Structure 1
Amino acid sequence: MPREIVHPPKAEPGDRIAVLSPSFAAPGRFPAVHEQAMRRLTEITGLVPVEYPTTRQIGATPQARAADLDAAFADPSIRAILATIGGEDQITVIPHLDPDRARADPKPFLGTSDNTNLHHWLWDVGIASIYGGSSQVHLGPGPAVDDLHARSLRAALLTGGTLEITDPGESEDVGIDWADPRALTTFGDREATEPWSWSGPARSVTGPTWGGCLEVIEWILTAGRFRFSPDALAGGVVLIETSEELLPARQVGWIVRSLGERGLLGAAAAILVARPPVSDHQRRPPAPERARLRREQRDTILGLIDRYNPDAVVCVGVPFGHTRPQWILPHGGTITVDGARRRVHADYR
């Protein structure tokens, strides 16, 4: 990736972390889950969460949410920023942000899903970020925080270093409804994972990452906010994951095909595809059907990558994005995808 990317300094225990809702203010609707997430955040990291006016304000304007982000970047006592959850309208927040404030004091930003907008904005500004870490999904619900999530959270915020990204052996598409008190103490329905699928040459690739939620990437490209040649991704690792909207494989393929036509797939040296959710609170097909839906999406994506970039090292099934347990991964930082040894390592420098 022939671009200069600044890696923000790590926080230290006792520092303050801004907890914001740049998309949907889920803490305002489900405060118990949010408050448990804040306690666990401090227990795991030693950081002190700081809420802003729109953290719990459902329906806050894009301007107000942008003002909170700008304020967090401008406050020297804030050493990291965590999004509570995604949503579907963060694209309207981005035009109101001040890039000079972010550049003046770069800080780790963590978020997933609709926060792909912010990750791409920061990448445009020249600041690395961390894909993952929704407090409302991965910190607040359930009897505890998953170990792999806690380890990558500490690496992203505090310690840096390199971690091997591994398969936890189990996965859930969706947890207990947050309006149900059991959400605070019970995981969702978990099932055994399948082995990751590898494709492409048996070689090792190390490069900076770019990507995120596929549906949001489509919106960003439609809005004309990717202003670079595909060469900006040359030698890098593209991250692709799909959301709880449960797009059929055919529609996922249409978006991936467009990335191929844009030249973005062809520029990458490696591509990581997340394990997709295939059920939600209203729709949970039987286990064989869920497995079929995951295979269909995998085969569709692999077929398109083979068409546009047969030399890419590809791994499908990695737990990041919209399933749980979830690894937090660098965005603009470095990942090694080793097609020979079939291993993935993330550098959280």
Structure 2
Amino acid sequence: MTTISYPPKPSPGDRIAVISPGAGLPGLFPRPFELGLERLREEFGLEPVEYPTTRKMGASPQERAADVNAAFADPDIKVIMASIGGDDQITVLPYLDRELIRANPKPFFGMSDNTNLLAFLSNTGIVGYHGATVMVQLGRPVAMDPLTAESLRAALFTSGAYELRPAERWNDVNRDWADPATFDAEPETKPGDGWTWVNPDRVIEGRSWGGCLEILGWLLMADREIARDLSEYDGGVLLLETSEDMPSSAEVFRTLRNMGERGLLRRFSALLMGRPKTWSFERPNSPEEGARYAAEQREAVLRAMRTYAPDTTIVFDVDFGHTDPQLVIPYGGLVRVDGPARRITVTY
């Protein structure tokens, strides 16, 4: 089994690499990016360092990989954060220097398309952190969500147990980053309904793996960064969440079905399913349509799990995906799912 360990933590005043291994969207939308950099400096006490492709749209996979390798190699960089996601980071993976990165472990924060790099790091023996990109979570209009900020601060600077808690209010409706008025008011939020538990009859503690479901599907198709020996995942905690592409319930079921056919689903003792994003600019659902989409996705997940892993403990609507707020989850690190007590604790 791969030995995986937590990289050293940064301290206030340290330098943080800000990279765009997915897409150079800071070049198109500088306002949320600059706001995120400002918060890294003023609220977290870290000094951002940009790399050649951080604001460059259309950078080649080789160029983006060079930035990742350079960030890990630089001894003055103590932590690394993605600016945002994208849709082709899988093409960057072949150009990463695994031995260099293994020899220079650092905390990496990202989500969505950054599932690629998180899975790479896990396979390399390094715990990563699913969550907190510069443009989205740190660049939130007016202020970061307090739950996001608290989780990120704990993940950045502390080690040990951190108990997750359900968001009392949440949001998944975006406003146009190109409109300056977007940044004049905080996003409107709606009440949260807590987590929904299935098979909460045991306590599970295991290493996490997973990420954005669509990206995992691509990795599985390309046969990239999946353990050769699936027993690596035995007793672990599967993290799954869906993106703003809002895959249909049929697509969600088929992806999980195929993971089940590969023998993956039955390996995990628990599944944490992120609260689904139910609105996008392309599909501006009404609240009723959004609720129906979420319910259909939940049933698709349950259908697949009943078939391939019926005894797995499942928790729905955990806030670690494409909705706001966002809890940071250690990727490859320890997650404790206490069904009887209805508690989730991560180890940062």
The TM-score by the shorter chain falls in which range?
Answer: over 0.9
Contact 1:44 1:150 in 2 (8 A): no
Looking at structure 2, the residues matched to 34 and 73 of structure 1 have their Cα atoms a distance apart, in angstroms, of: 22
Partner residue, 2:233: 233
Counterpart of 1:113 in structure 2 is: 112
Distance 1:206 1:146 in 2: 28
Q: Cα offset for 1:147?
A: 1.1
Cα RMSD (Å):
1.2
Q: Quick one: distance in 2 between partners of 1:186 and 1:229?
A: 49
1:79 maps to amino acid: K
Letter in 1 for 2:121: L
Moved more, 300-309 or 235-244: 300-309
Q: Which residue identity does 2:167 align to in structure 1?
A: P
CA contact (8 A) 1:176 1:187 kept: no
Classify the secondary structure of the residue corresponding to 1:11.
coil
Indicate the residue corresponding to 2:340 in structure 1: 340
Aligned residue in 2 for 1:289 = 289
Shift of 1:196: 1.6
Q: Which residue of 2 aligns with 1:269?
A: 269
Runs of 5+ unmatched residues, structure 1: none
Asked whether the equivalents of residues 14 and 46 of structure 1 are also in contact (C-alpha less than 8 Å), the reply is yes
Instruction: Write the mapping of 1:65-214 to structure 2, written as runs, cut at 5 A.
Output: 65-214=64-213
Q: Give deviations 1:215-246, integer Å, cap 9, x for gaps.
A: 00010011111242221100110000001001
Alpha-carbon distance in 2 for matches of 1:303, 1:254: 10
Q: Is the 8 A contact 1:17 1:47 kept in 2?
A: yes
User: How many angstroms does 1:290 deviate by?
Assistant: 1.1
CA distance in 2, matches of 1:248, 1:192: 25
Q: How far did 1:187 drift?
A: 3.2
Pairing 1:299-314 to 2, within 5 Å after superposition: 299-314=299-314
Indicate the residue corresponding to 1:59 in structure 2: 58
Residue 201 of structure 1 and its aligned partner are, at CA, apart by 4.3
* 1:13 counterpart residue number: 12
Please state how far the C-alpha of 1:321 moved relative to its aligned partner: 1.4
Inter-partner Cα distance in structure 2 for 1:166 and 1:105: 33
Cα offset for 1:162?
A: 1.9
Q: Which amino acid aligns with 1:109?
A: F
| Conserved? CA contact 1:201–1:311, under 8 Å | no
| Partner in structure 2 of residue 257 of structure 1 | 257
- Distance in 2 of aligned mates of 1:21 and 1:252: 27
SS of match in other structure, 1:297 = helix
Q: Which letter maps to 1:283?
A: R
Q: Is the 8 A contact 1:206 1:334 kept in 2?
A: yes
Q: Find the residue that maps to 2:18 and give its secondary structure.
A: strand
Distance across 1 between alignment mates of 2:92 and 2:182: 30
Cα distance, 1:312 vs structure 2:
1.4
SS at match of 1:153: helix
Under a length normalisation based on structure 1, what TM-score does the superposition of the two structures give? 0.97
Which segment drifts farther, 211-220 or 147-156?
Answer: 147-156
C-alpha distance in structure 1 between counterparts of 2:176 and 2:99, whole Å? 40
> Which residue in the other structure is 1:221 paired with?
220
CA distance in 2, matches of 1:215, 1:92: 15
Secondary structure of the 1:45 match is coil
C-alpha offsets along residues 291-330 of structure 1, whole Å, 9 cap, x if unaligned? 1111110111022112211221110100111111110110
Kindly provide the amino acid, as one letter, of the partner of residue 127 in structure 2.
A
Q: AA paired with 2:39? A: R
Secondary structure at 2:247 match in 1: coil
Contact persistence 2:253–2:303 (CA under 8 A): no
Q: Is 1:38 paired with 2:45? A: no
Aligned residues: 347
Decide whether the 8 Å contact of 2:338 with 2:344 is kept in 1: yes
| Contact 2:203-2:340 within 8 A present in 1 as well | yes
Larger mean CA deviation between 317-326 and 281-290 belongs to 281-290
Distance 2:229 2:186 in 1: 43
Contact 2:200 2:338 in 1 (8 A): no
Offset at residue 283 of structure 1 (A): 2.2
Tell me, in whole angstroms, the C-alpha distance in 1 between the residues paired with 2:11 and 2:201: 39
Offset at residue 334 of structure 1 (A): 0.8
Amino acid at match of 2:163: E
CA drift of 1:116 comes to 0.5
Give per-residue Cα distances to partners, 1:72-120, cap 9 Å, x unaligned. Answer: 0100000010001100010111100101111111000000000000011
> Which segment drifts farther, 179-188 or 214-223?
179-188
Cα separation, 2, equivalents of 1:43 and 1:346: 26
Q: Which 10-residue stretch deviates more, 161-170 or 24-33? A: 161-170
Q: TM-score, normalised by structure 2?
A: 0.97
Taking every aligned residue pair, what percent have the same amino acid on both sides?
46
